[in-house]
Amino acid sequence: MKKMLLPILLGGVLSATAADTTITITKRYLNLPVSQQQQRAYMEYQANGGEVRRFLIRLSPDPEYWVFSDMSAYQGKKVKITYEGDGAGLRHIYQDDRIAGQDSLYHEQRRPQYHFSTRRGWINDPNGLVFHEGEYHLFYQHNPFEREWENMSWGHAVSKDLIHWEELPVALHPDKTGTMFSGSAVIDHNNTSGFGKPGQPVMVALYTADSPEKQVQCVAYSLDKGRTWAKYGNNPVIDSKAKWNSKDTRDPRVFWYQPGQHWVMVLNERDGHSIYTSANLKEWTFQSHVTGFWECPDLFELPVEGMPGQKKWVMYGASNTYMLGSFDGRTFTPESGKYYFSAGSIYAAQTFNNIPASDGRRIQIGWGRIPQRGMPFNNMMLLPTVLTLRNTKDGIRLFSVPVKEAEQLFAPAGKWTALTAGAANRHLAAFNDADRLRIRATIRLSHATDAALSLFGQRLVAYDLNFNMLNGMFYSPQNPASMELTADIYIDRSSVEVFFDGGAFSTSMERRAEPGNRDGFRFSGNNITVTSLEVFRVKSIWPGVK
Ligand code: FRU
């Protein structure tokens, strides 16, 4: 691309190949003007003795929106900023203790109000979900510099209740081994890794470094509750491209295997998930491989509700499909599957490590592949859910429901029983314009045909009892003769999540009204009855939002 070399106000120097400027960092943030209309080009931060950061950005003198870098790591240092693209945007970069757009932060038109989304830029997979000393840590695949996927880094947020999140600086930045792809985090209580001091728990992250050549597994650790991170000097710890003759070796999911007193890593390699074991999180031994999975593994054991003493291991892939089986610390042996329990926009879900035994829940967060159109941030996390195994008519199956902590958000706004579709629609008309709402409804069908609830023409619930299809997936209720369906619906501006029949199946979608449709909420079907209908207003999780 054509390089434009322009004079720079911030005391910059021009070289033949790139434009640059040097700034002494005295404020928390560098605010950077960007536009999707510009080409991507590399920018680099260099400080004397400090870390080098290199990333792609669409810098523009005519910004569509602003992104930022948290410069905490560079305070008081002279940072040379080099840009290999059109340097005209460089002169507009400024430092401040506030990010550009701080005043409207979380008030933006399409900002999810009770789901996590990032201040600026792109997010995908949740990473490193771990509970530690009263905090739930949510790391995530993040491009801080654009609303689209690039520059994979680990963003970071913490919460005390899984509902209200505070965003922290990026935890893992791209480095010479590559960009920071998905992975997990553990608490090394006994300092098996040697990264900490005896008696001091260490947070250790295992992640994939992705480069054009290959994907390798690496380790980083934090001695201050995830606030700052150091990368292990002998990375990578696994380099298995040659063995698999494939570049696809990624997304380490690590946990402590209590019975064997060792660490387990589940790693997606080419055509399935491999198991590795380790005593110290640094040296890993390959143990076994199960084919039939793609990306973002998870593996955990759950008791089977209704079958005292029974437990099963759940092996999981990025699409939310799973196999049930047994696991001896080295090999997962499938017994059944693959099944699904959640569909729609969910992808790359992960469950938390280190949840206290007194709690014991298996808590999951999934990426909601839901765009926030025209916003300086993009995509979101779905509501945290609790996973359980239940003994059903089809065998043992996973169920998911939102965590109980979500209850604090909901204020009852109406409750009715035994309604015709028309009467239910009249009650819901008062809520047609709500941008966040929870609706719990039980629909009784009079014919084995179809039943639906739509919002401005978009079907939130679409049930076809003749074909046993529910929102596009095969679904047969626990009582197959049942003519009833219960839907728990969570609307949050750009997104909708629906949990059916106590979490037997759930789905999520972008909320998109049919252009020109004025219907609002509409129950429909062949003479359905809405046997129960409850509506809740939903509080925002962001301070100051009404
Ligand atoms: C899944 C995924 C992972 C990878 C990451 C990169 O969405 O493709 O396999 O680590 O995203 O952002």
Ligand 1: residue of 141, 143, 248 to mutate (most ligand atoms within 8 A of CB) is: 141
Give the residue from 444, 437, 443 showing the smallest Cα distance to 520.
437
Ligand 1: residue of 118, 123, 124 to mutate (most ligand atoms within 8 A of CB) is: 124
Model pLDDT, residue 546? 76
Contact 165, 105 (CB under 8 A): no
DSSP E strands in 270-328: the ranges are 272-278, 285-291, 298-305, 311-316, 321-327
Atom of ligand 1 nearest to the CA of 268: 9
Residue boundaries of the structural domains of the chain: 4-103, 105-402, 408-538
CA distances from residue 344 to 477, 478, 480, 510, 544 in whole angstroms, order as listed: 19, 21, 23, 9, 31
Q: Whose CA is nearest to atom 8 of ligand 1?
A: 295
Q: Exactly one of 20, 96, 103, 125 is catalytic; which is it?
A: 125
pLDDT digits (tens, 9 = 90+) for 368-380: 999 999 999 999 9
Atom of ligand 1 nearest to the CA of 149: 12
Contact 407, 163 (CB under 8 A): no
Ligand 1 centroid to residue 295 C-alpha, Å: 7
Model pLDDT, residue 9? 39
Atom of ligand 1 nearest to the CA of 152: 12
Ligand 1 centroid to residue 182 C-alpha, Å: 6
Ligand 1 centroid to residue 152 C-alpha, Å: 9
Atom of ligand 1 nearest to the CA of 251: 10
Model pLDDT, residue 543? 86
Ligand 1 centroid to residue 216 C-alpha, Å: 13
Ligand 1: residue of 118, 123, 125 to mutate (most ligand atoms within 8 A of CB) is: 125
Give the residue from 222, 135, 142, 133 showing the smallest Cα distance to 185.
222
If residue 126 lies in a helix (H) or strand (E), which one and from where to where? strand 121-132
CATH code for the domain defined by 408-538: 2.60.120.560
Residue 361 neighbours by CB distance under 10 Å: 16
Whole-number Å distance between alpha carbons of 288 and 379 = 35
Ligand 1 centroid to residue 408 C-alpha, Å: 32
Residues of the chain with pLDDT under 70: 1-17
Give me the phi and psi of 210, to 5 degrees please.
-105, 125
Ligand 1: residue of 250, 268, 293, 381 to mutate (most ligand atoms within 8 A of CB) is: 250
Ligand 1 centroid to residue 214 C-alpha, Å: 14
How many residues does the structure list for the chain? 546
- Enumerate residues 6+ apart whose C-beta is below 8 A from 1: 39, 41, 85, 86
pLDDT digits (tens, 9 = 90+) for 400-449: 999 999 999 999 999 999 999 999 999 999 999 999 999 999 999 999 99
Model pLDDT, residue 49? 77
Model pLDDT, residue 199? 83
Q: Whose CA is nearest to atom 6 of ligand 1?
A: 181
Residues within 6 Å of ligand 1 by CB? 124-125, 141, 152, 181-182, 208, 250-251, 295-296, 318, 347-348
Residue-by-residue DSSP string for 224-279: STTSS-EE-TT--SB--HHHHTSS-EEEEEEEEETTTTEEEEEEEETTEEEEEEES
Do domains 4-103 and 408-538 share one topology? The answer is yes
Ligand 1 centroid to residue 82 C-alpha, Å: 29
> In the beta sheet, which residues pair with residue 492?
436, 495
Give the residue from 360, 330, 332, 312 showing the smallest Cα distance to 262.
330
Whole-number Å distance between alpha carbons of 530 and 441 = 7
Span 4-103 CATH architecture = Sandwich (2.60)
pTM: 0.95
Q: Whose CA is nearest to atom 9 of ligand 1?
A: 295
The count of C-alpha atoms lying within 13 angstroms of the C-alpha of 215, restricted to the half-sphere facing its C-beta, is: 22
CATH code for the domain defined by 105-402: 2.115.10.20
Residue 402: burial class (beta carbons within 10 Å; 0-12, 13-18, 19+)? buried
Give me the phi and psi of 51, to 5 degrees please.
-70, 145
Ligand 1 centroid to residue 40 C-alpha, Å: 21
Ligand 1 centroid to residue 50 C-alpha, Å: 29
Contact 131, 100 (CB under 8 A): no
Ligand 1 centroid to residue 286 C-alpha, Å: 22
Atom of ligand 1 nearest to the CA of 183: 10
3-class DSSP assignment, residue 453 = strand
Is 394 in the active site? no
3-class DSSP assignment, residue 428 = helix
Model pLDDT, residue 64? 98
- Enumerate residues 6+ apart whose C-beta is below 8 A from 249: 208, 214, 215, 216, 217, 238, 240, 241, 267, 268, 269, 270
Q: Which tokens hold the place of 364?
A: 């999951």
Whole-number Å distance between alpha carbons of 509 and 329 = 37
